[in-house]
């Protein structure tokens, strides 16, 4: 299975722009929720993004994997942090999460090596 996560997130971003134009209040609400949920608190932003990546893997969400690996790259997550996070996703999600953990590692490698 070959996916290009930069293309996936680019395509989704185009669709999200259309949705933002047609449902601005809803999208603003979601954006506000994302901002509040990911800001530094008892858990720092990078830890929260690692959790989001694990949840994206468990949910088998290609877009989630793409966007959260990009965020983790910006936050200077290490390969080791990604691997440990994927280990938790696999542990909690079983075989299907194992398949998507492999995809998430590919996505991280893609955004980390432009």
pLDDT at res. 59: 92
Cβ neighbours of 68 (radius 10 Å) = 28
Judged by DSSP in three states, 98 sits in helix
Q: Which domains does the chain have, with CATH numbers?
A: 5-112 (1.20.1290.10)
pLDDT at res. 2: 75
Instruction: Give the Cα separation of 70 and 73 in Å (integer).
Output: 5
pLDDT at res. 63: 96
Residues in contact with 41: Cβ distance below 8 Å, sequence separation at least 6, in sequence order: none
pLDDT at res. 1: 56
pLDDT at res. 41: 98
Grouped pLDDT means (10 residues each) for the chain, 114 residues:
87 96 97 97 98 95 96 98 96 90 93 85
Residues in contact with 73: Cβ distance below 8 Å, sequence separation at least 6, in sequence order: 108, 111, 112
pLDDT at res. 113: 86
């Amino acid at each position: 299975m070959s996916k290009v996560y930069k293309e996936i997130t680019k395509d989704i971003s185009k669709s999200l722009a259309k949705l933002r134009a047609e449902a601005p209040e809803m999208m603003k609400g979601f954006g506000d929720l994302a901002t509040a949920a990911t800001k530094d608190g008892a858990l720092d932003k990078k830890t929260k993004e690692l959790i989001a990546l694990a949840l994206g893997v468990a949910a088998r969400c290609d877009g989630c994997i793409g966007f959260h690996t990009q965020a983790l790259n910006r936050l200077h997550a290490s390969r080791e942090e990604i691997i440990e996070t994927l280990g938790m996703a696999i542990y909690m999600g079983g075989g299907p999460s194992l398949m998507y953990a492999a995809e998430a590692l590919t996505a991280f490698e893609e955004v980390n090596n432009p």
